Amino acid sequence: MSENENTDYEILSEDNSKSDLSFKLIVIGDSGVGKSCLTMKATKNIFENYYSPTVGFEFCTFNIRIKEKTIRLQIWDTCGQEVYRSLINSFYRNSSLAILLYSIDNIRSFNNLEMWLNDIKVNSNPSIKVFLIGNKKDLEEKRQVPIDKAKTFYKDHNIHLFLEASAKTGFNAQKIFIEAAKILYKEHLELDTKLELNSDKNEIVKLAQEGEIDLEDGIEPVKRKKCC
Ligand SMILES: Nc1nc2c(ncn2[C@@H]2O[C@H](COP(=O)(O)OP(=O)(O)OP(=O)(O)O)[C@@H](O)[C@H]2O)c(=O)[nH]1
Ligand SMILES: [Mg+2]
């Protein structure tokens, strides 16, 4: 386990068995952009220089404690090869967040982002969140995608977070998943609050129907009925 200096979270070991909340994440993008390497670096602190294309998908977890809750991210690392596209489309279902990768030294992988965003749109829940990651930041001398171009793309496409990262050096590798956990946890809390408010409202409506309170202006309670 590693304690973070910000103290608002703590990264737990991959085999941590208990979790309060669990979210499904999908990692997508062109073949060879570094999806598997970045996932491995973040979850196992391993980097392999040789290329071993993913066949279908690989699965791993990232466990983190935020405040008092233990959160498990179920990470589906997919293969980018065209031949598996229709298989991958079935993985989008029930995903809370898509991590969309391109490689900063490969303009083609950047130009294909629109196609990947379209796959997300067609196959996912409308509430899915998207992170855009420019991987292989260590290959600065081979850069083909200017960072400003990527920032413009991010702003134009309803994407929740943009980061450059490197699976090789580890730069921002864990940060991607920490931010994912934080954003999903925050959304979960907001949803809980809404549900609580709704159940409060339901209670108020019930009391009104039973004649316990008067309602004015929608379902806001205004005064209690006077007792005889
Ligand atoms: N220099 C550098 N090389 C990287 C980085 N990330 C991945 N690579 C290399 O890029 C190649 C492809 O990496 P993978 O992680 O297998 O790519 P992938 O996106 O999972 O590819 P598919 O499984 O075919 O879809 C490997 O040779 C890695 O060593 C990085 O951040 N920097
Ligand atoms: Mg892979």
pLDDT digits (tens, 9 = 90+) for 160-218: 999 999 999 999 999 999 999 999 999 999 887 777 777 777 777 777 777 777 666 55
Question: Smallest Cα–Cα separation from 95: which of 176, 173, 184, 178?
Answer: 184
Ligand 1 closest atom vs CA 50 = 27
**CA 60 to centroid of ligand 2, rounded, Å:** 12
Find the range with the poorest average confidence among 6-10, 68-72, 181-185. 6-10
206: three-class secondary structure by DSSP: helix
CA 32 to CA 141: how far, in whole Å?
18
- Global confidence as pTM: 0.86
**CA 53 to centroid of ligand 1, rounded, Å:** 9
All domains of the chain in start order, with CATH? 3-189 (3.40.50.300)
pLDDT above 50: residue 97 = yes
The string of DSSP codes covering 88-118 is HHTTSTT-SEEEEEEETT-HHHHHTHHHHHH
pLDDT above 80: residue 103 = yes
Buried b (16+ CB within 10 A) or exposed e, 161-191: bbbbbbbbebbbbbebbbbbbebbbeebeee
Q: pLDDT tens-digit profile of 17-46?
A: 789 999 999 999 999 999 999 999 999 999
pLDDT averaged over every residue in the chain: 89
Ligand 1 closest atom vs CA 169 = 31
Q: pLDDT tens-digit profile of 115-126?
A: 999 999 999 999
**If you take atom 14 of ligand 1, which residue's CA is the nearest one?**
34
Q: Residue 2: what pLDDT? A: 45
**Quick check: CB of 54 below 6 Å from ligand 1?**
yes
**Quick check: CB of 41 below 6 Å from ligand 1?**
no
CA 188 to CA 19: how far, in whole Å?
14
Q: Residue 197: what pLDDT? A: 75
Residue 66, beta-bridge partner list: 9, 69
